[in-house]
Each structure stands twice: as structure tokens, then as C-alpha cells.
Amino acid sequence: AQTVTQSQPEMSVQEAETVTLSCTYDTSESDYYLFWYKQPPSRQMILVIRQEAYKQQNATENRFSVNFQKAAKSFSLKISDSQLGDAAMYFCAYRGGTGTASKLTFGTGTRLQVTL
Amino acid sequence: NAGVTQTPKFRILKIGQSMTLQCAQDMNHNYMYWYRQDPGMGLKLIYYSVGAGITDKGEVPNGYNVSRSTTEDFPLRLELAAPSQTSVYFCASSKLVGANVLTFGAGSRLTVL
């Protein structure tokens, strides 16, 4: 079974600074997808960024980028120019390829605080 | 676009009561999922469905039942509620597998006393 590990329960960053959230996963599949979701106090799950395992290029979405190391099974999220609105729980998630019903497996989350 | 709609948003149950959490999506998505999120934890899969009439267990199915009679609806039934089922429940859906992003509902907070 696939597992997703987030080893940082909490992180703090100053406004305008950069922070990196860590995620590792375990799988025997070669075809899979990785996601970072943000959950603000409203509880709504919001997609931040996604990465296809077959792509070597790291995904980027505005201030958010990932460092995908397939061999190390590592998928970290970098938030640049942090803003107060970035404060939230961040979940790393794994989704298998076709034929697996593509269930999304989540890590336990990292709570990000943004300070002035 | 309504997306994924969950009802109710909040509910308090007494031990032993039963209830159904409703989930409906209007995006013609084939795949639907129910997750629960315990305080300070990630989401754990309860049940999922790959299409109308097809359901399967996830990681934590005990104490729950589901049905999928239509593409749009995927209700979650709690029988004989227990305090351990106090959680926030999320319904999600996606059109296809793999890179397709899951669309989540706003969640339903359930407390069992």
C-alpha cells in the first residue's frame, strides 16, 4: 500500500520569505501523480500544485513550486514570497495511475504559520 | 457551477443513532469518494465508487455504508453512531483517474455524544 509521510507537523515563515514543506512517499508503482492541497480554516480543500511522475520537470504555479526527486521518493513544496493568506494546513497526496481507481492517499499535514 | 454539495454541514448525534450524509455532484464525474478527517490528521478514505452501481471499501469502512444509484449522488450512511465517528467528512469526485484533480465538497462536521 502506498504511504505518504509529512515529517513537519508545524512550520513558520515570515511574510515575504520562502519556506519549504517536506513530503516523502512509498510506492511500487511507476505511474502515479503527486499533489499538494491547502486547507485554510474554512476547511475547503484547495489544490495548490500537481506533478506527474513521468515528467522530470518540476511543476510551478506562480509562487508555488515543487522539488520532485523520483528516485528518493521525495516531493517538497516551496512557497516563495509568503503571504498571510498562505497560512493553512498543507497536505501532500499521492494518487496511483489507471487501474487503481485512483484513490488519493494523504499525509498527516503540515500547519504553516505566516508571521509579520 | 455547484460542484460537490454536501449536506448537512453540521450535525450532532447521540450514540446509537443513525444518519445519512448526502453528497451530490453536477459535473458528471464518474469517480466519487468519501473521506474522514480526524482533528489534526490527514484524510482517510472510507468508501469510493467508480460509477453508478459500483462501490468499494477504502481504508476505514467499518461502521459505514454507501450506495451509488445514480452518477450524481453518493450518500454515506452511518449506522449505530459511536463517539469514534466524530470527525469531519469530505465527499470528493473526479471525472477520470490519474492526473485528474479531485473536487472536494465543503465538509460535514459530525459530533457523536
Q: What is the pLDDT of residue B39?
A: 84
| A51, A33 contact by CB (below 8 A) | yes
Q: Which of A43, A99, A104 sits opposite B88 (nearest CB)?
A: A43
CA distance A115 to A57: 31
Contacts of A53 in chain B (CB under 8 A): none
Residues of chain B with pLDDT > 90: what percent?
83
Mean pLDDT of chain B: 93
What is d(CA A98, CA A53) in angstroms, rounded to the nearest whole number? 13
pLDDT digits (tens, 9 = 90+) for A18-40: 999 999 999 988 888 999 999 99
Q: Residue B38, class by beta-carbon neighbours within 10 Å (0-12 exposed, 13-18 middle, 19+ buried)?
A: middle
Nearest by CB to residue B102, choosing from A4, A96, A104, is A104
> Hey, which bits of A1-116 come out as E strands?
3-5, 10-14, 19-21, 24-26, 32-39, 46-52, 60-61, 64-69, 74-79, 88-96, 104-106, 110-115
The three state secondary structure string of B39-78 is: CCCCEEEEEEEEECCEEEECCCCCCEEECCCCCCECCEEE
Q: CB distance from B107 to chain A under 8 Å?
A: yes
- The DSSP secondary-structure symbol of A109 reads -
pLDDT by residue (tens digit) across B9-54? 999 999 999 999 999 999 999 999 999 999 888 899 999 999 999 9
The band of A56, judged by pLDDT with boundaries at 50, 70 and 90, is: confident
Task: Give the burial string for A72-93 (b: 16+ CB within 10 Å, else e).
Answer: ebebbbbbeebeeebbbbbbbb
Nearest CB partner across the interface for B48, out of A43, A50, A103: A103
A72 touches chain B (CB under 8 A): no
- How many Cα atoms within 13 Å fall on the side-chain side of residue B76? 34
- 3-class state of residue B84 by DSSP: helix
Is any Cβ of chain A less than 8 angstroms from the Cβ of B39? no
Query: How much is the average pLDDT of A29-53?
Result: 92
Whether residues B33 and A52 touch (CB distance < 8 A) is answered with no
Any CB–CB contact under 8 A between B90 and chain A? yes
Question: DSSP string covering B94-112, please?
Answer: ESSSTTPPPEE---EEEEE
User: Is residue B96 predicted with pLDDT exceeding 80?
Assistant: no
State the smallest CA–CA distance between residue B97 and chain A in angstroms: 5
Tell me the shortest Cα–Cα distance from A16 to chain B, in angstroms. 27
* CA-CA-CA-CA dihedral for B103, B46, A103, A49, to nearest 10: 40
Does the CB of B100 have a partner CB in chain A at under 8 Å? yes
